[in-house]
Structure 1
Amino acid sequence: MSTLEIKNLQVSVDTEDGAKEILKGVTLTIKDGETHAIMGPNGSGKSTTAYSIAGHPKYTVTGGEVLLDGENVLEMSVDERARAGLFLAMQYPVEVPGVSMSNFLRTAKTALDGEAPKLRTWVKDVNGALDRMKLDTQFSSRSVNEGFSGGEKKRAEIAQLDLLDPKFAILDEIDSGLDIDALKVVSGGINDYAAREGKGLLLITHYTRILRYVKPDVVHVFVDGRIAESGGPELADELEASGYERFTTGAAV
Structure 2
Amino acid sequence: MSTLEIKDLQVSVDTEDGPKEILKGVTLTIKDGETHAIMGPNGSGKSTLAYSIAGHPKYTVTGGTVTLDGEDVLAMSVDERARAGLFLAMQYPVEVPGVSVANFLRTAKTAIDGEAPKLRTWVKDVNTALGNLNLDPTFSQRSVNEGFSGGEKKRHEIAQLELLNPKVAVLDETDSGLDIDALKVVSEGVNRFRAQEGKGVLLITHYTRILRYIEPDHVHVFVDGKVAESGGPELAEELEANGYERFLTSTQAAV
TM category, shorter: over 0.9
Amino acid corresponding to residue 87 of structure 2 in structure 1: F
Cross-structure match for 2:94: 94
Taking only aligned residues, the RMSD between alpha carbons, in angstroms, comes to: 0.9
C-alpha distance in structure 1 between counterparts of 2:43 and 2:37, whole Å: 17
Shift of 1:111: 0.7
Alignment of 1:165-244 (within 5 A): 165-244=165-244
C-alpha offsets along residues 19-70 of structure 1, whole Å, 9 cap, x if unaligned?
A: 0000000001000000000000000010000000000011000000100000
C-alpha distance in structure 1 between counterparts of 2:103 and 2:227, whole Å: 40
Shift of 1:72: 1.0
Cross-structure match for 2:59: 59
C-alpha distance in structure 2 between counterparts of 1:130 and 1:148, whole Å: 14
Shift of 1:223: 0.4
Aligned residues: 253
Cross-structure match for 1:158: 158
C-alpha distance in structure 1 between counterparts of 2:2 and 2:91, whole Å: 26
C-alpha distance in structure 1 between counterparts of 2:3 and 2:159, whole Å: 24
Amino acid corresponding to residue 161 of structure 1 in structure 2: L
Q: Which runs of 4+ in 1 moved over 2 A?
A: none
2:132 is the counterpart of 1:124: no
C-alpha offsets along residues 177-206 of structure 1, whole Å, 9 cap, x if unaligned?
A: 000000000000000000011100000000
Shift of 1:2: 1.2
C-alpha distance in structure 1 between counterparts of 2:125 and 2:141, whole Å: 14
Percent of aligned pairs with the same amino acid: 83
Cross-structure match for 2:37: 37
**Secondary structure at 1:99's aligned position in 2?**
strand
Shift of 1:76: 0.4
Unaligned runs of 5+ in 1: none
- Which TM-score applies when normalising by structure 1? 0.99
2:81 is the counterpart of 1:77: no
- Which TM-score applies when normalising by structure 2? 0.98
